[in-house]
Amino acid sequence: MSTSNKLWPGNKRIAVIFNVCLEAWSDGKAPGISPMGNPLPHGVLDNTAISWAAYGATRGIYRLMDSFARYNVKASVMTSAVLAERTPASVEAVGNAGHEIVSHSYTMDVMPAMLQEDEERNNIKRCTDLLQNVSGKAVRGWLSPRATPSAGSSRLLAETGFVWHGDTLADDLPWVETHGAKTIVAIPLSTDVNDMPSMKYGTPPRAMLDTFEEHLNILLKHERGPAIIDVTTHAHIFGRPRGAYYHEKIIEAAAKSSEVWIGTRLDVAQAVLAR
């Protein structure tokens, strides 16, 4: 990739990507964490955790989209394809608002690392068809639940026509992977600015804003080359009023910085390919 300091559109040095996780689990499955803390006994279905996660599609995603609209910012929305069946209005709303629809597998418990190649190929097609049919938007990016690819995921996605995947944490900047005559951009997923610590460790929501501002300042003052900051939030975690308030403060801070270009992951992939 180019070593130029100014890599991104508008001759900007820092790219900020807003990732929103719009997630769901299979019937009879629950998220591994919930606000209730102590897990239920083995074999007992945690219906409270299921209802907590369902908030993302029923309420949280709409609150986050309102924040993005106030600053004319587009996000990459990592969407469990099962929601195209369960709550199609939420997936349609994301597409209508102009956000990037990213395939996030069928459900959070359907992980490519656990599938045989034919199963994975079928899962990719199923997810793509569901999300495109409901949203009306082409799906060009993929990020597996927990970023857990199989050894062949990059190749299968490239063969299917995906432009990028995010199933790697191996570098700071994207690169192009080649599989025969096909290519795909690998865009690493950074975890510095994420709402999960608020859920797992009780970190105050404001800490995510503080982390973003500190991270941006470090990059501007101490890193010479181009950089990417991922701002990742879950619609069922920071889609609630307090989290969404501080998330919008991050949007505001990014939008007013003269050194920041805000783009989706597809925008980043296209910028890489253009060079």
- The pLDDT tens digits for 173-208 are 999 999 999 999 999 999 999 998 887 777 899 999
CB 89 within 8 A of CB 96: no
User: For position 239, what pLDDT does the model report?
Assistant: 97
The whole-angstrom separation of Cα 61 and Cα 56 is 6
Q: How far apart are CA 167 and CA 189, in angstroms?
A: 7
Within 10 Å of residue 78's Cβ, how many Cβ atoms? 27
Of 175, 5, 29, give the one whose Cα is nearest residue 105.
Answer: 29
Percent of the chain with pLDDT over 70: 98
pTM of the complete model: 0.94
Instruction: State mean pLDDT over 33-62.
Output: 90
Q: How far is CA 243 from CA 39, 149, 167, in A?
A: 24, 29, 26
Residue 160 falls in which region: left (phi positive, over 0), alpha (psi -120 to 50) or beta: alpha
DSSP, collapsed to helix, strand or coil, labels residue 237 as: coil
